[in-house]
């Protein structure tokens, strides 16, 4: 076995040991379970529960957070089977470390009380949101980074995500309970910037393979179904408002339903197919949930959700057809999982919609809920217009932070000694690669040139 | 690419756009989120919560509804992989549209208040039940109808389902919380009738292939497990009674357990196998949940559930062995997924059992629960015998409506210009068909002659 | 078809019918639904809810119990596809019967009130725990026992599990809410002892096959994700304490996260691989949940959970590398699924950790929770040291019972007329076996000699 692989193996093993020891020590020093006062604590920080958290109530949706963060993305990532088990394992490693790291960083920013981080169900939910963003970023570069690089990226990504979240939610008083901006847009553009920096010309030379196998289709079916089932709970996991929450849930469902029809409307026109591929339906569903992140709890009528979902569905398909090729050829940005179409653009659309709704927010339209959705407006310390302005300003802030962070991250990963490609020498990955010949693959399944693998 | 395919593609695209626009407009005009009074509203209409819905409590089981409607049936449908991704995508399209349409139709019947439809978690649960029925119907014809036909079928099916539900629950005061009759029996016979009308003789000519692949087995394992996990919550999703609900849940579990043993008892006798196929176990499980729909909340002793589940398990296996061939050869009814054995017969059995229990219902046996399960009897406005009579009369009403509706639906689908078969020309479906050679397949996996595909 | 197969088929069919009839009769005579007083009842018996169970609250976690018992283990077992559908079907049969039988046996021990067994959500949770233990045992022998043998093993195993649970929880006052000892350790060693007795020398002669297929990898991914999502709820399903529960949940999450990094630390060192196989990550996750069973609700600081999870992850990998071969060659114990490394050792580790924590338990460290976690200590009827002693003594008691029971069980299974191997003559299993050539396989996927199949 070649030398550099051995070193890279030990590199990984050592880094994991180092990081885990570090977190254990930091946890030992700083982290304590919060007495149930955590709810009171967090409400000044995050736009979370306004009342003492009933944990029996909290736990299920806290679990939804996990479901989505792990399952939905886990399946998304599983599509990349063609890059060998390494990439799936890598993303699980990413989750495992991101959760721990997020607890620490977010803890210092949000839950720090007299020298200790107060950990509770609420802080775990926030950590899940952060993990989701990191996994979105990973979706843009997976298959082109090795585990060691991914861990370093996680270190940086989690820190920047928490910083951005802190600026938006706590300083600017933006309300973005479902994370259109903080999770989807940030994650997508952070990952895309890293992908841009990591770009290596010879990659585009690789010939692509077109056929999609039954397995990928099965994955897409299961993935779509899970989105339908669990995302609504996820996108409303931080809104523990007594009656705001169900609206966010229902809005997300309606948006999902509309996005599916959008896929059926566009796919036959864009591609010579009578019915869309399952992956296209899944992308539409993902996009429709990303767009519902911010406006989810603001929409007071179901038809708004239908319209937004329908648009998001159209955007994701149009993006894959026309934008992704441009990104790759002109901007030299490879987007393995098309996160730009599925998370980036819809996230921005969601933010704009949220801004609009904030501007239109009136006491009588929201009645009791205004105090829950836009507390500052309800308290009169801010007009609806100011709120809308804040929501809008949050967009450039996030994009800037994501771009700078991504640039920095990419630069770090290009350092010598880290550049070894993901190892692909052991039996499974060989077996997998054979399957991959007609195997699952998000990037390629949409007939785009040049998605390539290090294999 | 042949002309008729192009037109059929644009036909689908256009129809989806039309329908989505229509729903959006109707939603804009009529649908509003309900203030939390929805619970009070619905209790006169549906046999749902008697107390103000605690939404933190409502949401999880409302999610169960979705889980079952989408996941369980999604997996069931996924078995049909051999008909190409088209049929899986089609059934997801069906869900997406059925949910929206059901919200509207049921809204006009159940939740219409001073000119607006009051939408809440409760109405979404009802919409899920309706979607489930439509997917059962789809199970009978899938692989022989194209997406356009399926959408039209959904339009009709949802309307008739809601009508039937309204007659049974609101007018006749039948209690059928788990939908033995309204969901399973109606869905099955509606689909079967459509299948009968669509019957084309040359279909039976096709030679069948017998072998079942590992993938189908995996599906069956996952499907069975999901049934065990989520159906109890589903079949009790509308019974928000403080203490009636858990009985429905537990009854369903016991019925599931017994049905599994039934499969092991019968399979070695009917087929030369030492252990039943997973699909048989799954069918038995499905049947046992269908039978528990109506009596689920009426049974006051667990052993009743064991007996019912055991019988349902036996019925489903016997049905596949002896009835399905008769249906196909004599009655010219093809039943792609065997919905007659898995939903039709068990649904009827459940209704009869429910009738029996209603007749035996006495105040002291139910104590407090009588008021919840049989409100009219508890209020003394009706004797137990009358209630039993109503339950029984509901059966012919449902069957009649299902048969007439199915006949009408089938006639519509035979109109010229709609008759183009599901397209099977694009890469995936070819790949899938290769897999299908040893691929999943509900209809055939039980050694029946003549299940055929349009491929 | 050979004679002995026919008899074995009818044997199974008959036994299932007999057992189901028996349970139905016993249920009819003894089992009734409990009025909601069940909570009060059980609290003297099991260390379960101290307050009247709110069923809306109970149901979701009760479902978690099912999720884990059925889904997690269902997937684990699904790995054994290479032994033909028979073994998957067998384990589902085991579940179906174990649940019913556990309700009866545990009912007589825990929920017996004036001549009737009071069944409620709580007793179903206990039955799930019991089923989980039986499935762990099955993991040690699957592929080498036929369904009939498995049913008899279940009969014995459930009885002994309940007996052991009764001794530990009710008589000795041990607190083991997550079942490190009662579920994991008991299940593992019971199964291993049976496996030892069933050992047949010629088995080791079989040549093994090394390659692991993509399907197994997919299973491992899904399995790992489910562990992350649902086990926390499972391991805390019996702790309905107002604020103890979330700690158990969070501890389990932290332990899971740490175990994943442990897998990445060790795997590159033990095997020439840059990233661990998914099965290894899954084993580490399983081990980390097993270790959290007992101390889960006792740990008052998150970092303890990180350390325990990290150790458990290391143990499971080390066990597969060094211990399993020794077990097989020296002790003649075949461990099909490596339950010794994944459930046995971590279970013991968890018990020791629990003992330590019990010894350190002080009123001010636990504040209000002491009364919930260690009621006897809180009531002053026992010192922390005595409690620790009890926890420790529970270990040998469990191991002894498991060993004796396993010995007895193995002896029974060797009786003539039961010894026919699992049938492997029907189409599926042939198809499956072809897949199996690069198919899923827990035992072998870690490069150990001599895991063999009866095929």
B89: chain A residues, CB-CB within 8 Å? 264, 275-278, 281
- Nearest-by-Cβ selection for C264 from A12, A55, A56: A12
Statement: residue C68 has pLDDT above 60: no
Shortest CA gap C413–chain A (Å): 37
Q: Quick check: C257 and A8 CB within 8 A?
A: no
Q: Decide if B239 contacts C32 (C-beta within 8 A).
A: no
CB-based contact C250 A67, cutoff 8 Å: no
Distance CA A363, CA C19 (A): 65
Determine the residue among B49, B214, B368 to mutate to test chain C binding: the one whose Cβ has the most chain C Cβ atoms within 10 Å.
Answer: B214
For B455, residues 6+ apart whose C-beta sits below 8 A from its C-beta are B82, B83, B84, B424, B429, B433
Query: Taking CA C212 as the corner, what is the angle to CA C209 and CA C216, rounded to the nearest 5 degrees?
Result: 130
Spell out which residues of chain B touch residue C36, defining contact as CB-CB under 8 Å.
Answer: 243
CA distance B405 to B22: 23
Please answer whether residues A184 and A241 qualify as being in contact, where contact means their C-beta atoms are separated by less than 8 angstroms.
no
Q: Which domain holds residue A80?
A: 63-198+218-236+245-414
pTM (2 d.p.): 0.82
Please, how many CA atoms are within 13 Å of residue B153, restricted to the half-sphere of its CB? 40
Cβ atoms within 10 Å, residue C367: 12
- Does B9 fall in a domain? no
- The whole-angstrom separation of Cα B404 and Cα B411 is 11
How far is Cα A442 from Cα A430, in angstroms, rounded to an integer? 20
pLDDT at A21: 92
What pLDDT, in 10s, does the model give residues B231-248? 666 655 555 444 455 677
**A112-113/A116-119 β-pairing:** antiparallel
**pLDDT surpassing 90 at residue B164:** yes
What is the distance in angstroms between the Cα of B190 and the nearest Cα belonging to chain A? Answer: 24
Tallying the residues shown for chain C, one arrives at 455
Residue B342, in any domain of the structure: yes
B243 contact residues in C (CB cutoff 8 A): 36, 55
Sign of the dihedral defined by the CA atoms of residues C408, C410, C415, C418, in that order: positive
CA atoms within 13 A on the CB side of C229: 27
Tokens 């009917």, residue located: B270
Q: Give the other-Cβ count within 10 Å of B400's Cβ.
A: 12
**Crossing angle for the helix pair C384-413 and C345-360, to the nearest 10 degrees:** 160
Among residues of chain C, what percentage have pLDDT more than 90?
22
Identify the band that residue A44 occupies on the pLDDT scale cut at 50, 70 and 90: very low
Per DSSP, what are the bridge partners of residue C112?
C117
Of C9, C78, C99, the CB nearest to B221: C78
- pLDDT of C294 higher than 60: yes
What's the rounded Cα separation, in Å, for the pair C262 and A61? 28
Considering only CB atoms, which chain B residues are within 8 Å of A233?
59, 63
pLDDT above 90 covers a percentage of chain A that reads 22
Structure tokens at B313: 């398990």
Task: Please name the residue that has the structure tokens 């699904």.
Answer: C78
Upper half-sphere CA count for residue A203 (Cβ side, 13 Å): 24
Chain A nearest CA to C75, separation (Å): 15
Q: What is the pLDDT of residue C269?
A: 83
Categorize the per-residue pLDDT at B423 as very low, low, confident or very high, splitting at 50, 70 and 90: very low
CA A404 to chain B, closest CA, distance in angstroms equals 40
* Degrees to nearest 5, angle at CA A252 with A251 and A257: 100
Average pLDDT over residues B114-139: 83
φ/ψ of residue B300, rounded to 5: -105, -5
Cβ contacts of B54 within 8 Å, gap of 6 or more: C56
Which pLDDT value is given to residue A449? 37
Lowest mean pLDDT among A64-78, B257-271, C85-99: A64-78
Joined together, the tokens standing for residue A257 give 């339903």
Q: Which of C229, C272, C273 sits opposite A70 (nearest CB)?
A: C229
Least confidently predicted of C119-123, C177-181, C353-357, C368-372: C368-372
User: In this prediction, what percent of chain B has a pLDDT beyond 90?
Assistant: 22
Which of B216, B248, B264 is the best mutation test for C, with the most CBs of C within 10 A? Answer: B264
CA atoms of B265 and C46, how far apart (whole Å): 35
Provide the β-strand partners of residue C33.
C119
pLDDT at position B22, please? 93
The pLDDT of residue A382: 84
**Residue carrying the six token digits 């197919």:** A273
Half-sphere exposure of B65 (CA within 13 A, CB side): 29
> Is ipTM over 0.90?
no
Alpha-carbon distance C269 to nearest alpha carbon in chain B (angstroms) = 34
Number of H helices, E strands in chain A: 20, 3
Q: Which of B247, B256, B274 sits opposite C423 (nearest CB)?
A: B274
The arithmetic mean of pLDDT across residues B6-20, rounded, is: 85
> In angstroms, rounded to a whole number, what is the distance separating the alpha carbons of residues B413 and C24?
47
Residue to substitute from A235, A264, A267, interface B, most B β-carbons within 10 A: A264
pLDDT band at A187 (very low <50, low <70, confident <90, very high): very high
For residue B444, being part of any structural domain is answered with no
CB contact under 8 A, A55 and C300: no
Q: Judge whether residue C243 has pLDDT over 80.
A: no
Residue C162 has pLDDT above 90, yes or no: yes
Q: In what order do the strands lie in the sheet with B116-119?
A: B31-33, B116-119, B112-113
Q: Phi/psi zone of residue C33: left (φ > 0), alpha (ψ -120 to 50 degrees), beta?
A: beta
With a cut of 70, say whether residue A46 has pLDDT above it: no
C31-33 and C116-119 strand pairing: parallel
Cβ pair C33:B300 closer than 8 A: yes
CB pairs < 8 Å spanning B and C: 172
Rounded mean pLDDT of chain C? Answer: 74
Nearest to A272 among B1, B97, B103 (CB): B1
**Mind telling me how many Å the CA of B44 is from chain A's nearest CA?**
22
Residue B372: predicted pLDDT: 74
Average pLDDT over residues C375-384: 82
- Position B51 scores a pLDDT of 32
Domain harbouring A322, CATH code: 1.10.3430.10
Task: Calculate mean pLDDT across residues A177-199.
Answer: 89
Between chains, do C275 and A23 touch, taking CB under 8 Å as contact?
no
SS3 per residue for A31-72: EEECCCCHHHHHHHHCCCCCCCCCHHHHHHHHHHHHHHHHHH
Maximum distance among all alpha carbons in chain C?
Answer: 71
Interchain proximity B246–C99, CB inside 8 Å? no
* CA A323-A325-A330 angle, 5° bins: 95
pLDDT for A374 equals 82
Report chain A residues whose CB lies below 8 A from the CB of C54. 56
DSSP string over C398-410: HHHHHHHHHHHHH
d(CA C190, CA C401): 8
Region B428-440 average pLDDT: 34
Q: Which residues pair with B116 in a beta bridge?
A: B113
What is the reported pLDDT for A228? 73
Nearest to C93 among B232, B264, B310 (CB): B264
Beta carbons of B275 and C435 less than 8 Å apart: no
pLDDT at residue A56 above 50?
A: no
pLDDT digits (tens, 9 = 90+) for B179-214: 889 989 999 999 999 998 887 654 444 433 333 455
Asked if residue C231 has pLDDT above 80, the reply is no
Cβ within 8 Å, pair C427-B246: no
Candidates B3, B8, B20, B143: best to mutate against A (most CBs of A within 10 A) is B20
Query: How many angstroms separate the CA atoms of C284 and C263, rounded?
Result: 6
Hey, how many other C-beta atoms are within 10 angstroms of the C-beta on B402? 27
User: Residue A436 in contact with residue A166, Cβ under 8 Å?
Assistant: no
Contact between residue B331 and residue B277 where contact means Cβ atoms under 8 Å apart: no
Interchain proximity C274–A422, CB inside 8 Å: yes
* pLDDT at site B9: 75
pLDDT at C86 over 70: no
Q: What average pLDDT does this structure show over C286-306? A: 86
How confident is the model over C394-421, as pLDDT tens digits? 999 999 999 999 999 999 888 766 665 5
Query: pLDDT tens digits, residue range A216-272?
Result: 666 666 667 667 766 666 655 555 444 455 677 788 888 988 998 998 888 888 877
Task: Give percent of chain B with pLDDT exceeding 70.
Answer: 68
Position B92 scores a pLDDT of 83
Is the CB of residue A162 less than 8 Å from the CB of residue A45? no
Structure-token pair, residue C87: 């073994």
Would the CB atoms of C16 and B281 count as touching at under 8 Å?
A: no
Contacts of B414 (CB under 8 A, 6+ apart): B197, B198
The continuous run of DSSP H or E covering B116 comes out as strand B116-119
Asked if the Cβ–Cβ distance from A16 to C272 is below 8 Å, we say: no
A193/chain C closest Cα distance in angstroms: 26
CB of B108 closer than 8 Å to CB of B117: yes
pLDDT value of position A18: 93
Is the pLDDT at C428 greater than 60, yes or no?
no
What pLDDT, on the 0 to 100 scale, is given for residue C77?
A: 52
How far apart CA C180 and CA C186 sit, in angstroms, is: 9
**Structure confidence by residue, pLDDT tens digits, B63-89:** 444 554 555 555 555 454 444 455 678
Separation between Cα atoms, residue C123 and residue C102, nearest integer Å: 9
Chains that touch C (3 or more CB pairs under 8 A): A, B
Contact criterion met (CB < 8 Å) for A147 and C264: yes
Any idea what the Cα angle at residue A294 is, between residues A293 and A298, rounded to 5°? 120
**Residue A450 belongs to some domain of the structure:** no
Looking at residue C170, what DSSP letter applies? I
Q: Considering only the beta carbons, identify the residue of A249, A281, A438 that sits closest to B59.
A: A249
Rounded Cα distance between A338 and A324, Å, is 7
User: Does the pLDDT value for residue C154 go beyond 50?
Assistant: yes
Q: Exposed e or buried b for every residue in C85-121, given b needs 16+ CB within 10 A?
A: bbbbbbbbbbbbbbbbbbbbbbbebbbeeeeebbbbb
Residue C154 lies in a domain: yes
Chain C environment of A18 (Cβ under 8 Å)? none
Neighbours of chain B (3+ CB pairs under 8 A): A, C
Report d(CA A159, CA A403) in Å as an integer: 14
Q: Using CA coordinates, name the residue in chain A closest to C259.
A: A96
Lowest mean pLDDT, pick from A177-191, C150-164, C362-376: C362-376
Note the pLDDT of residue B166: 92
Residue A25: closest C-alpha in chain C? C303
- The size of the A-B interface in CB pairs under 8 A is 172
> How many domains does chain B divide into?
1
Q: How buried is residue C242: exposed, middle or buried, by Cβ count under 10 Å (0-12/13-18/19+)?
A: middle
Residue B32, SS3 per DSSP: strand
Residue A28 placed within a domain? no
- In sequence order, what are the beta bridge partners of C117? C31, C112
Say if residue A311's pLDDT is above 80.
yes
Closest-CA distance of chain A to residue C193, Å: 33
The shortest CB-CB distance from B261 to any of C5, C20, C86 is to C20
Give the 3-state secondary structure of residue B143.
Answer: coil
Tokens of A220: 């897409």
* C426 belongs to a structural domain: no
Cβ-based neighbours of C3, under 8 Å, separated by 6 or more = none
In a domain, B355, yes or no: yes
Contact check, Cβ <8 Å, A301/B28 = yes
Is the pLDDT at C324 greater than 60? The verdict is yes
């Amino acid at each position: 076995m070649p030398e550099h692989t051995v070193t890279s193996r030990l590199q990984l093993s050592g880094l994991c040991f180092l990081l885990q020891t570090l977190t254990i020590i930091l946890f030992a020093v700083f982290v304590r379970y919060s007495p149930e006062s955590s709810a009171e604590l967090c409400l000044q920080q995050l736009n979370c529960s306004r009342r003492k958290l009933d944990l029996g109530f909290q736990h299920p949706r806290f679990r939804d957070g996990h479901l989505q963060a792990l399952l939905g993305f886990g399946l998304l990532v599983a599509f990349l089977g063609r890059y060998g088990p390494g990439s799936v394992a890598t993303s699980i490693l990413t989750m495992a470390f991101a959760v721990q790291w997020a607890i620490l960083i977010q803890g210092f920013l949000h839950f720090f009380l007299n020298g200790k981080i107060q950990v509770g169900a609420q802080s775990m939910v926030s950590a899940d949101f952060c993990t989701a963003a990191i996994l979105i970023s990973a979706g843009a570069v997976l298959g082109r980074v090795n585990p060691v690089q991914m861990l370093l990226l996680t270190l940086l990504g989690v820190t920047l995500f928490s910083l951005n979240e802190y600026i938006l939610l706590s300083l600017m008083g933006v309300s973005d309970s479902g994370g259109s901006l903080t999770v989807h847009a940030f994650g997508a553009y952070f990952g895309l910037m890293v992908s841009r920096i990591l770009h290596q010309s010879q990659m585009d030379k690789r010939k692509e393979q077109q056929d999609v196998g039954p397995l990928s289709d099965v994955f897409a079916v299961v993935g779509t179904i899970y989105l339908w089932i669990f995302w609504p709970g996820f996108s409303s996991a931080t809104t523990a408002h007594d009656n705001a929450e169900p609206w966010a849930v229902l809005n997300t469902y309606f948006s999902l339903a509309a996005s599916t029809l959008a896929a059926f409307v566009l796919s036959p026109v864009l591609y010579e197919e009578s019915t869309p591929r399952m992956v296209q339906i899944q992308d539409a569903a993902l996009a429709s949930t990303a767009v519902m992140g911010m406006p989810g709890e603001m929409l007071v009528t179901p038809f708004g959700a239908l319209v937004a979902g329908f648009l998001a569905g159209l955007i994701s398909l149009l993006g894959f057809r026309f934008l992704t090729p441009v990104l790759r050829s002109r901007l030299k940005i490879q987007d393995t999982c098309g996160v730009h179409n599925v998370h980036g653009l819809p996230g921005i659309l969601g933010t704009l919609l949220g801004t609009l709704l904030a501007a239109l927010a009136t006491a009588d339209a929201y009645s009791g809920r205004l105090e829950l959705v836009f507390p500052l407006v309800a308290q009169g310390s801010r007009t609806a217009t100011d709120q809308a302005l804040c929501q809008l300003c949050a967009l450039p802030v996030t994009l800037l932070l994501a771009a700078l962070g991504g640039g920095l991250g990419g630069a770090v990963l290009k350092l010598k000694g880290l550049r070894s490609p993901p190892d692909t020498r052991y039996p499974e990955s060989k077996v997998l690669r054979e399957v991959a010949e007609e195997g699952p693959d998000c990037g390629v399944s949409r007939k785009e040139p040049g998605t390539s693998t290090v294999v």
